[in-house]
């Protein structure tokens, strides 16, 4: 009989899919690494299970413990699946800008969800970072993975996602493009690919309201760059330790609207029912390919982090899209 002992054993080995219809004017081959086909419907499954298993090995997470994490939703889902497999409880803090679907999904898999305000500084006591840290201090036998600074994050992608991309492209990948949030995905994959071929370029996709692009270009953490934005899952108002800026050749910023519209196009024109930051990453990849006149010899791999079910009340709701001014 062929079966998995638990759903977490289905993590990884996601397919690569060629984009055909949104690529007008682009000669390069653009391949999408479709991470929503992980069991928790996102790339975050990979690092979630590794953070848990590494914490167990280190004796930090003990039987019957509680996992407490600040998340935009997807890491929480990965942690929740691991917790079910291993018998832990979960408490997740989310900013109130995150979609209702994400909160409902986390509750559906048994997690407690604490909603925190978006428009406060990271060190404010009510921010979702601060609340997670406080709960960790208050609740006995609890573990705070802290995906932003936990090195198991990037290591998961160095060990799994990077090798998969190299193998699936038979080493022909020339550019790797992904949205940057905690930094684990971009750092782990880039480290692996550049070790295989130092000529591979990594392009990080950032959003307006985030500090990454200016910090990469100037070395200055400019608080004037920080303001509220709607795109979920990428960009930051902090500098996570998982972001290795030396491995990222360039950042491109994409607007909330351009990312949202491209997300809808991916569903309608490519059959890829993906999340908001997926459209953002593809928009940035196409812009980069056009501006740099990439040729038929170039192979771009763009990572699509999550599934459209997380955004039914936003991106895939015409009334919401009209209210934002994203569609007529």
Catalytic residues: 44
Residue 156 pairs in a beta bridge with none
- Give the sheet arrangement for strand 89-95, strand by strand: 112-116, 89-95, 66-70, 142-143
Summary count for the chain: helices (H), strands (E): 11, 10
How far apart are alpha carbons 258 and 326 in whole angstroms?
8
CB burial of 114-147 (b: ≥16 within 10 Å; e: otherwise) equals bebeeeeeeeeeebbbbbbbebbeeeeebbbbbb
* 112-116 vs 89-95, strand pairing mode: parallel
Among 57, 67, 98, 127, which Cα is nearest to 233's? 98
What's the length of the chain? 328
List of E strands, the chain: 16-18, 29-34, 66-70, 89-95, 112-116, 142-143, 175-179, 201-207, 250-254, 299-304
How far apart are alpha carbons 159 and 58 in whole angstroms?
19
How far apart are alpha carbons 3 and 94 in whole angstroms?
34
């Amino acid at each position: 009989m062929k079966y998995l002992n638990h759903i977490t054993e289905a993590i990884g080995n996601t397919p690569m899919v060629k984009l055909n219809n949104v690529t007008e004017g682009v000669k390069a081959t653009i391949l999408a690494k479709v991470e929503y086909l992980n069991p928790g419907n996102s790339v975050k499954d990979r690092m979630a299970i590794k953070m848990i298993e590494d914490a167990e090995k280190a004796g930090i997470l003990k039987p019957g413990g509680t996992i407490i994490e600040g998340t935009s939703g997807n890491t929480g889902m990965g942690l929740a699946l691991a917790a079910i497999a291993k018998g832990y409880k979960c408490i997740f803090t989310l900013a109130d800008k995150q979609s209702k679907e994400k909160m409902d999904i986390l509750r559906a898999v048994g997690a407690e969800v604490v909603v925190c305000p978006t428009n406060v500084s990271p060190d404010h006591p009510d921010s979702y970072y601060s609340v997670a840290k406080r709960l960790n201090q208050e609740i006995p036998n609890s573990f705070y993975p802290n995906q932003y600074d936990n090195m198991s994050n990037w290591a998961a992608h160095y060990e799994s996602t990077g090798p998969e991309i190299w193998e699936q492209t038979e080493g022909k990948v020339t550019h790797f493009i992904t949205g940057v949030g905690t930094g684990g995905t971009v750092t782990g994959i880039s480290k692996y690919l550049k070790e295989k071929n130092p000529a591979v370029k990594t392009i990080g996709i950032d959003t307006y309201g985030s500090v990454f692009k200016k910090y990469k270009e100037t070395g200055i953490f400019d608080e004037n760059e920080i303001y509220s934005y709607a795109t979920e899952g990428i960009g930051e108002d902090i500098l996570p330790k998982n972001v290795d800026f030396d491995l990222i050749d360039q950042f491109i910023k994409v607007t909330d609207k351009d990312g949202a519209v491209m997300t809808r196009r991916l569903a309608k024109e490519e059959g890829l029912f993906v999340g908001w930051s997926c459209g953002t990453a593809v928009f940035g990849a196409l812009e980069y390919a056009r501006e740099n006149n990439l040729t038929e010899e170039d192979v771009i791999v763009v990572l699509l982090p999550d599934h459209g079910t997380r955004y039914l009340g936003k991106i895939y709701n015409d009334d919401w899209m009209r209210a934002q001014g994203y569609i007529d």
